[in-house]
Amino acid sequence: MKRIGVLTSGGDSPGMNAAVRSVVRCGIDEGMEVYGIYRGYEGLMDGEIEELDRNSVGDILQRGGTILKTARSEKFRTEEGQAHAAAMLDTFGIEGLVVIGGDGSLRGGADLARRGIRVIGLPGTIDNDLGYTDYTIGFDTAVNTVLEAITKIRDTSSSHERTTVIEVMGRHCGDIALFAGLAGGAEGVLIPEIENDINELCKKIVMGANRGKQHSIIINAEGSGISSQELTETIQYRTGKDTRLVVLSYLQRGGSPTLRDRMLATLTGAKAVELLKDDSDSKAIGTVDGEIAAYDLIDALEQKREIDRAMYDLIGVLSK
């Protein structure tokens, strides 16, 4: 394999640039031509493709976002769009494609794989919602961003003796809320995977206040089943405590990637080139028990992520 492409798709995540850098430089070291595809699958269909050299990816390791830009594409979801994308790869002579993105992006790669394109998927998403890997690129940075916000919000919450609801991302997977809630000392965490008990949450806040607790922090994943505004109003009504809402939104996607995300991105990028060099079938690369692992792409996407119930229960124990 002498000519490969790399693209980033879906929501951006810290560490995507580190992965692009690793793919480009490792590919060139193996004697390959490496082409950057801009704006994900939309850019692929539009032919936004150019060859990258080592200098193209200089000074990007520490930067958040993605130099290749990203986009969501409705057109690519169609048979016509996928055929067009495959034809564009053939036009440029690109024999293998590295896709960096989340579940939707890797499923797009699987669609191309069914059309005979060798696709290697890297787990680039802050949500940590891919079942085949322990961690995804960007998750660690996002959680650390949330932790920093919790620390600052706690100061104000304590000063005003109020409850603060902090909304974090997590439409289908509650890992950001779960990890940040445990490490940030939250009194309650609401996630999509576990049914909410608002009565128990409000009771805990009231009992804490009766013991002299000056504030409470509640973390609500956006897909928990209750809107953050409704949750805030309910808590204030039932507890009688001043309750405020903070929505972190896209703040969680930005920032320089942490050590863990840089390492994961770099090692999976290098593994992607190794697999393409060996003419491997389409694969998804991730980490299992600290080791880089590769799975059949389609099989990997069928694996479901299970919530760590013991971690969730521990939050309840520690916040009593």
Tokens of 91: 């036009």
User: CA 151, 136, 45: angle at the middle one, nearest 5?
Assistant: 120
DSSP state of 5: E
Sign of CA dihedral 172, 11, 273, 264: negative
| Alpha-carbon span 108 to 176, nearest angstrom | 24
Non-local (6+) Cβ contacts of 70 within 8 A are: 8, 9, 10, 11, 12, 16, 39, 40, 101
How far apart are alpha carbons 151 and 160 in whole angstroms? 15
User: Two tokens at 46?
Assistant: 């539009």
Which residue(s) pair with 292 in the sheet? 287
Do 209 and 197 touch, CB atoms closer than 8 A? no
Contact 251, 166 (CB under 8 A): no
**Of residues 303, 301, 310, the one with CA closest to residue 108:** 301
Structure tokens that stand for 59 in this block: 């000074």
The token pair at 250 is: 């896209």
* Cα–Cα distance for residue pair 126/298, rounded to 1 Å: 21
The set of catalytic residues is 127
SS3 breakdown of the chain: % helix, strand, coil, rounded to 5?
45, 20, 35
Name the E strands within 185-241: 188-190, 216-221
